[in-house]
Amino acid sequence: MILISLIAEGQDKLFAQDTLPPAATLRRLGTLFLEKGEYQLSYYYNYSAYILEKDPVKKTSAAIDAVDACLIAGHYAEADRIIFDLDSTGPEVADLLRMKYAYSLLRQKDFTRAGVYLSSIKGDVKWPDQYHFMKAFTEISSKQKEACKTELGMIGDKFGASDEISSIMADLNSNKTFRKKHVAIALPLSAILPGLGQAYSGFYFDALQSFGLNTAFGIGTYASWKYELTKSKDNRNYVLPSISTLIFSAFYITNLFNAVNVTQKANLFSEDQYYRKIADKFDMVLDQNGTFIRLKINLK
């Protein structure tokens, strides 16, 4: 048996019952704890109510409360299990559960799967503002700027985060973007002086390394050729100069490839930072307690 402590309504005492209580009682207590902000207790009671409930209609209703409690308390695996268990329910309930699960995926920064769940909603969206906001979040995470603006433009004026929406739209409409480095500049710079293209892209350690290695092997190659050429023709041995030339050429070519590579990395980093600053504003809205995951549905 599972020992469960139950709070009796209308009484000041706490009593223990060494039996399995009715699912309705567990659900009622779970809802009470959810309203009082006791999210872990709400999770325990609501999830237990869902497991114990046998009536199909009541089980669906209990599942929605259980998903609420699971997501608030951070028990995403349990929420995932409930949603997949009830995937065959009516479209209205299924869409609600998909929205709730997409929300939890966004909180976990799993943007790809969140986008898949949001796209799988087939019926009329009951909470269009929340839907379009979450959809916009998935778009900005994949750097789809115009698609994000389209989704945000479909949010109504009554949405609770209108100020944040305005700030995000201002960033998206601004002419200011990330500073892009050009390979066409970095490559010739490194061809003229190894490491100069890396320095242009902001990778100063790579620049020093490239300059140092190419300088060292360049000097060595020059010295070996100079030494051999000072000898008489009969005594010259071109093995060492040839090897040093090959090594220097390899480092020089590597320097050119590295200049291109770090320039592309610099651009990706700048682009990620640009979109990350915008995405942070989405995060702030999602963190507003109760804005999304306390969506209710009429099961009548």
pLDDT tens digits, 8-62: 333 334 444 445 678 888 888 888 887 788 888 888 888 888 888 888 778 888 8
The region of weakest confidence among 190-194, 196-200, 273-277 is 273-277
Cβ neighbours of 181 (radius 10 Å): 19
Supply the pLDDT for residue 12.
Answer: 38
What DSSP character marks residue 14? E
Q: Is 290 exposed, middle or buried (0-12, 13-18, 19+ CB in 10 A)?
A: exposed
What average pLDDT does this structure show over 254-266? 93
Looking only at Cα atoms, what is the longest distance across the chain? 112
Supply the pLDDT for residue 288.
Answer: 61
Q: May I ask the CATH class of domain 1-89?
A: mainly alpha
In which element (H, E) is residue 208 found? helix 204-229
pLDDT at 202 over 70: yes
Q: Judge whether 118 and 131 are in contact, CB under 8 Å.
A: yes
The architecture CATH gives domain 92-176: Alpha Horseshoe (1.25)
Pseudo-torsion of CA 285, 286, 288, 291, nearest 10°? 100
Supply the pLDDT for residue 184.
Answer: 92
Q: Fill in the amino acid letter for 114.
A: A
What average pLDDT does this structure show over 132-137? 90
Express each pLDDT in 206-215 by its tens digit. Answer: 999 999 999 9
6 phi and psi angles, rounded to 5 deg:
-115, 140
104 phi and psi angles, rounded to 5 deg:
-65, -35
What DSSP character marks residue 233? G
Q: Judge whether 165 and 155 are in contact, CB under 8 Å.
A: yes
Supply the pLDDT for residue 291.
Answer: 53
Supply the pLDDT for residue 294.
Answer: 52
Supply the pLDDT for residue 297.
Answer: 45
In the chain, what percentage of residues exceed pLDDT 70? 86
